[in-house]
Protein backbone atom coordinates (compact mmCIF):
# COMPACT_ATOMS: atom_id res chain seq x y z
CA UNK A 1 0.00 0.00 0.00
CA UNK A 2 1.16 3.52 -0.82
CA UNK A 3 -0.35 6.39 1.12
CA UNK A 4 -1.06 9.87 -0.28
CA UNK A 5 -2.20 12.54 2.18
CA UNK A 6 -3.53 16.04 1.47
CA UNK A 7 -4.45 19.05 3.56
CA UNK A 8 -4.47 22.83 3.25
CA UNK A 9 -3.05 25.31 5.76
CA UNK A 10 -4.95 28.43 6.81
CA UNK A 11 -3.46 31.67 5.43
CA UNK A 12 -0.17 32.67 7.03
CA UNK A 13 0.13 29.33 8.86
CA UNK A 14 2.87 26.83 8.17
CA UNK A 15 3.36 23.87 10.49
CA UNK A 16 5.65 20.87 10.75
CA UNK A 17 4.26 18.52 8.10
CA UNK A 18 5.15 15.30 9.90
CA UNK A 19 3.48 16.57 13.10
CA UNK A 20 0.36 17.54 11.14
CA UNK A 21 0.28 14.09 9.54
CA UNK A 22 0.56 12.41 12.95
CA UNK A 23 -2.08 14.72 14.44
CA UNK A 24 -4.50 13.91 11.61
CA UNK A 25 -4.11 10.22 12.46
CA UNK A 26 -5.11 10.86 16.08
CA UNK A 27 -7.70 13.64 16.07
CA UNK A 28 -10.53 14.80 13.82
CA UNK A 29 -9.62 18.52 13.83
CA UNK A 30 -6.11 19.97 13.68
CA UNK A 31 -5.64 23.64 14.51
CA UNK A 32 -4.20 25.65 11.61
CA UNK A 33 -5.78 23.62 8.81
CA UNK A 34 -8.63 24.67 6.56
CA UNK A 35 -11.82 22.67 6.27
CA UNK A 36 -12.02 21.05 2.85
CA UNK A 37 -15.02 20.66 0.53
CA UNK A 38 -14.83 16.90 1.11
CA UNK A 39 -17.97 15.94 -0.81
CA UNK A 40 -16.96 18.09 -3.79
CA UNK A 41 -13.54 16.43 -3.81
CA UNK A 42 -15.07 12.94 -3.61
CA UNK A 43 -17.43 13.81 -6.48
CA UNK A 44 -14.46 15.03 -8.54
CA UNK A 45 -12.54 11.80 -7.90
CA UNK A 46 -15.63 9.77 -8.82
CA UNK A 47 -16.02 11.78 -12.03
CA UNK A 48 -12.38 11.40 -13.10
CA UNK A 49 -12.40 7.67 -12.28
CA UNK A 50 -15.87 6.99 -13.71
CA UNK A 51 -14.51 4.08 -15.79
CA UNK A 52 -13.20 2.34 -12.67
CA UNK A 53 -15.46 0.08 -10.64
CA UNK A 54 -16.70 1.86 -7.54
CA UNK A 55 -16.42 -0.88 -4.92
CA UNK A 56 -18.09 1.15 -2.16
CA UNK A 57 -18.58 4.80 -1.19
CA UNK A 58 -14.86 5.45 -0.94
CA UNK A 59 -13.06 2.72 -2.91
CA UNK A 60 -12.31 2.25 -6.60
CA UNK A 61 -10.84 -0.67 -8.53
CA UNK A 62 -9.38 -0.67 -12.04
CA UNK A 63 -11.09 -3.49 -13.94
CA UNK A 64 -9.10 -2.75 -17.11
CA UNK A 65 -5.69 -2.89 -15.48
CA UNK A 66 -3.89 -2.87 -12.17
CA UNK A 67 -4.60 -0.91 -9.05
CA UNK A 68 -7.18 0.10 -6.56
CA UNK A 69 -7.47 2.93 -4.06
CA UNK A 70 -9.49 3.90 -1.03
CA UNK A 71 -10.21 7.47 0.05
CA UNK A 72 -10.41 8.28 3.76
CA UNK A 73 -11.52 11.75 4.80
CA UNK A 74 -11.74 14.09 7.75
CA UNK A 75 -13.16 17.61 7.58
CA UNK A 76 -9.61 18.83 6.95
CA UNK A 77 -7.80 16.04 5.14
CA UNK A 78 -7.96 13.52 2.35
CA UNK A 79 -5.94 10.31 2.62
CA UNK A 80 -5.77 8.01 -0.39
CA UNK A 81 -4.47 4.50 0.16
CA UNK A 82 -3.21 3.08 -3.14
CA UNK A 83 -2.96 -0.68 -3.68
CA UNK A 84 -0.83 -1.71 -6.66
CA UNK A 85 -1.72 1.61 -8.26
CA UNK A 86 0.45 2.83 -11.12
CA UNK A 87 2.40 6.07 -10.80
CA UNK A 88 0.37 7.77 -13.51
CA UNK A 89 -2.84 7.03 -11.60
CA UNK A 90 -1.33 8.50 -8.45
CA UNK A 91 -0.31 11.56 -10.49
CA UNK A 92 -3.95 11.99 -11.55
CA UNK A 93 -5.06 11.83 -7.91
CA UNK A 94 -2.40 14.38 -6.94
CA UNK A 95 -3.58 16.59 -9.81
CA UNK A 96 -7.18 16.45 -8.61
CA UNK A 97 -6.10 17.55 -5.16
CA UNK A 98 -3.99 20.37 -6.63
CA UNK A 99 -7.22 21.71 -8.18
CA UNK A 100 -8.32 22.25 -4.57
CA UNK A 101 -4.92 23.75 -3.62
CA UNK A 102 -4.08 20.72 -1.47
CA UNK A 103 -0.48 19.65 -2.09
CA UNK A 104 0.67 16.08 -1.53
CA UNK A 105 2.29 14.95 1.68
CA UNK A 106 4.06 11.66 1.07
CA UNK A 107 4.50 9.99 4.48
CA UNK A 108 6.73 7.29 2.99
CA UNK A 109 9.56 9.81 2.34
CA UNK A 110 8.31 12.00 4.29
CA UNK A 111 7.94 15.14 2.18
CA UNK A 112 5.28 17.67 1.29
CA UNK A 113 5.24 18.94 -2.28
CA UNK A 114 4.10 22.51 -1.83
CA UNK A 115 7.08 24.59 -2.87
CA UNK A 116 4.95 26.01 -5.70
CA UNK A 117 2.55 27.45 -3.12
CA UNK A 118 5.24 29.19 -1.07
CA UNK A 119 5.91 31.72 -3.83
CA UNK A 120 2.34 33.02 -3.98
Question: Residue length, the chain?
Answer: 120
Which tens digits make up the pLDDT trace of 89-118? 999 999 999 999 999 999 999 999 986 544
Phi-psi region of 67 (alpha: psi -120 to 50; beta: other; left: phi over 0): left
Kindly write down the DSSP assignment for every residue of 33-56, as one continuous string.
Answer: BPPP-HHHHHHHHHHHTTTSEEEE
The CA distances from residue 111 to 4, 52, 78, in Å, are: 11, 29, 16
28 vs 101 pLDDT, higher one: 101
Which tens digits make up the pLDDT trace of 51-71? 999 999 999 999 999 999 999
Q: Record the pTM.
A: 0.93
Which tens digits make up the pLDDT trace of 31-45? 999 999 999 999 999
The CB-side HSE value for 11 (13 A sphere, CA atoms) comes to 1
Q: Give the residue-averaged pLDDT of 61-89.
A: 96
Amino acid sequence: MYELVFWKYLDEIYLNHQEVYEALEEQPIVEGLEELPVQVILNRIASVFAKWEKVDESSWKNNDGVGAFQVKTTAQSIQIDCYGTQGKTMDILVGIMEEFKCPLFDPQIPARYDEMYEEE
